[in-house]
Chains A and B, each alone.
Chain A
Amino acid sequence: MNVDQPRITVLTGHYGSGKSELSIQLALRLAEHHSPVALADVDVVNPYFRSRERRALLERHGVRVIASNVGFDRGVDLPAVSAEIYAPLRDGRTRTVIDSGGDPVGARVLASFRRMFDPRETDVLCVVNVARPQTATAHAVIDQIDAIQHASGLTITGLINNTHLLEQTERAHVEAGNDVCCVVSERTGLPIRYVGVTQHLWHTLPAGVSGEPIPIAMHLREAWMNST
């Protein structure tokens, strides 16, 4: 991972685009090179498959996990975010990944912290999976970006092409995602920062796909969820 990566990375995007998996992955990678590292899960929309469900794994790797102030990591869908989130945002040294809820409705939570983000040390990335029907075209992705910016008060600074169909992903899917993201990039000026790659494609990823490859490890999916 790029050492010049801004101190704070905010992941936004359509729900189901892969924000939580990528947040876990980014936080674990940061923790290999940095300390302290924190992951703030501010998803108040989704009831299942939230990054805080992997608190034990993350803490084992030295990642501080910040989630709800109610205290349950599973089983509560209350709109509660712990005030603990202010600590890493303010201390000027904790590398922090913020996993926001999906869609503008999930991103709205970010508006309450927006004044605490210093644009010079914050990357706000929009995760894009064009296999999700609501974000299948460049036009739809740009609409999504506009709506998330409007709801959160933040300016998106980059894209993650996270196009996949889980274990059924083929190279053509990643390439189709790249095509859409390139058009979005051209029209918005946003760089494609990362490309999410499922493990079985890791060694066959075609050249010419934009973004730094980052493995999709599927930390949130149990073995029995394999869809092949």
Chain B
Amino acid sequence: MDKVLMKGNEAIAQAAIHGGCRYFFGYPITPQNEIPEYMAREMPKAGGVFLQAESEVAAINMVYGAAGAGARVMTSSSSPGIALKQEGFSYIVGSEVPCVIVNIMRGGPGLGGIQPSQADYYQATRGGGNGDYNMIVFAPANIQEAADLTAEAFEIADYYRNPVMILGDGMIGQMMEPVLFRETPKRAIEPKTWATTGTGGTREPNIITSLHLDPADLEKHNLHLQQKYARMRRNETRYEYFEIEDAEFVFVSYGTASRIVRNAIIELRQSGIRAGMIRPITVWPFPQTAFDQLGTQVRAVMAVELSCGQMVDDVHIAVRGRWPVGFHGRSGGMIPTQREIVEACTALLEEVT
């Protein structure tokens, strides 16, 4: 048997080890606890280190340290825990060291609840940390995709010397599906000559820092980072079209929400409404070009999210006023039904007719 049955969290942890991760620092929080639990059990067997830190802030700074030493390293948390780690993200981006961060989102704001949510879209794509920073954010919609993207995330992080985030809602973490651990696409990664691995008395020390006190120097550093983000936008944007060819109504949805939208589209098409979907696989960079290839038959666009409306802002930016944009969302851990998505679509179509 090649395929195994795994929870999303387990598959993400296994995929990380499969992708070369050998250091994991974390702090428990529902609904992502199976990741540290799995790492605690399996990482030592892979010759790596699992450490439960005393807090999220400690964990992300341990990640910063290990990444600076050139290790493949990961942390995971859920919404409020990720909020605590954001200072570290900014430092890690500023210092240009790679790592992988997993956010299995729960309902907010604040402690919120433990049921699935997508209300950390702003947090992931705009960043709660300071400064002009970005990172690639993958939003898997099933367990196989979560595993594949997690393993690949380590290659991409090393390639750009920048963190990569896996953004899954609680359902992606908790639900079970068959998964296969397969070959990860490899990148041409330069040797980590910048890492603080000890000089051996043969070179000047490497310094990992985000501090640039000279404003001209800091601006230069920022422009360099911007060039890197531009390359990510150009080369790393991913999305999936579903039934888009002749679509008059275009849903935009990611993660768990996109799975319900998919079933809603099948139902709508059975009743003669030609619906389709753009499913962002990266929510940063957001797939703006996916909208430029839409046909002239499109009458309306609608974002469907497990939030009160966050990605819909990016949809507006990408649509640039060409079509009416609607929104349907549920929050707090509530999951929309196929029926309510179908009804939201027909209501918007009536409105724009």
B-contacting residues of A (Cβ < 8 Å)?
A: 16, 46-49, 74-77, 129-133, 136, 164-166, 168, 172-173, 176, 221-225, 227
Interface size range on B against A = 20 to 34
Would A47 and B30 count as touching, CB distance under 8 A? yes
Q: Are B178 and A225 in contact (CB under 8 A)?
A: no
Q: Is B170 an interface residue (CB 8 A)?
A: yes
Q: Is the pair A75, B171 in contact by a Cβ cutoff of 8 Å?
A: no
Q: Which of B240-264 contact A (CB under 8 A)?
A: 256, 259-260, 262-263
How far apart are A117's CB and chain B's nearest CB, in angstroms? 29
Q: How far is the CA of A164 from the CA of B31 in the complex (A)?
A: 24
Query: Are B3 and A225 closer than 8 Å at their CB atoms?
Result: no
* A165 touching B3, Cβ below 8 Å: yes
Using known A-B contacts A49-B175, A224-B262, determine if residue A131 contacts B5 with beta carbons closer than 8 Å. Answer: yes
Residue ID in chain B nearest A76 by CB atoms: B114
Q: How far is the CB of A50 from chain B (nearest CB, A)?
A: 11
Evaluate contact between A129 and B175: CB separation under 8 angstroms: no
Task: Tell me if B72 is interfacial: C-beta within 8 Å of chain A.
Answer: no
Chain A residues near B171 (CB-CB < 8 A): 48
| Given known A-B contacts A131-B3, A224-B260, A77 and B114 have beta carbons under 8 A apart | yes
Chain B nearest CB, measured from A95 CB (Å): 28
Can you sample 30 A-B contacts with CB below 8 Å?
Answer: A16-B5, A16-B176, A47-B30, A47-B114, A47-B170, A47-B174, A48-B115, A48-B171, A48-B174, A74-B115, A74-B333, A75-B115, A76-B114, A129-B5, A130-B1, A131-B4, A133-B6, A136-B1, A136-B4, A165-B5, A165-B178, A166-B177, A168-B3, A172-B1, A221-B175, A224-B256, A224-B259, A227-B143, A227-B177, A227-B178
Q: Tell me which residues across on chain A come within 8 A of B1, comparing CB atoms.
A: 130-131, 136, 172-173, 176
| Chain B interface residues (CB < 8 Å from chain A) | 1, 3-7, 10, 14, 30-31, 113-115, 142-143, 170-171, 174-178, 256, 259-260, 262-263, 333, 335, 338
A168 to B2, CA, bound (A): 12
Q: Is the CB of A225 within 8 A of B338?
A: no
* Main SS class of interface, A: loop
How far apart are the CA atoms of A221 and B177 in the complex, in Å? 11
Q: How many A-B residue pairs have CB under 8 A?
A: 73
Asked if B114 and A223 make an inter-chain contact with CB atoms under 8 angstroms apart, the answer reads: no
Known pairs A75-B333, A223-B338, A224-B262; A164 contacts B30 (CB<8 A): no
Query: Judging by beta carbons under 8 Å apart, are B113 and A16 in contact?
Result: no
**The residue from A48, A77, A168 contacting B178, defined by CB atoms under 8 A apart:** A168
Name the residue on B nearest A227 (C-beta): B177
Known: A132-B5, A133-B14. 16 other contacts (CB 8 A): A16-B6, A16-B7, A46-B174, A47-B174, A74-B333, A75-B114, A76-B114, A130-B1, A131-B3, A133-B6, A165-B178, A166-B176, A168-B3, A222-B335, A223-B338, A224-B256
CB atoms of B174 and A225 under 8 A apart: no
What's the nearest-Cβ distance from chain A to residue B35, in Å?
A: 13
Interface centre among B5, B6, B30, B171 (most CB of A within 10 A): B5
Chain A residues within an 8 Å CB radius of B113: 75
Shortest beta-carbon distance from B259 to chain A in Å: 4
Cβ contact within 8 Å between A166 and B178: yes
- Residues on A with beta carbons closer than 8 Å to the beta carbon of B256: 224
Nearest A residue (CB) for B171? A48
A143 to chain B, nearest CB (A): 13
B44 to chain A, nearest CB (A): 16
Q: How far is the CA of A225 from the CA of B174 in the complex (A)?
A: 12
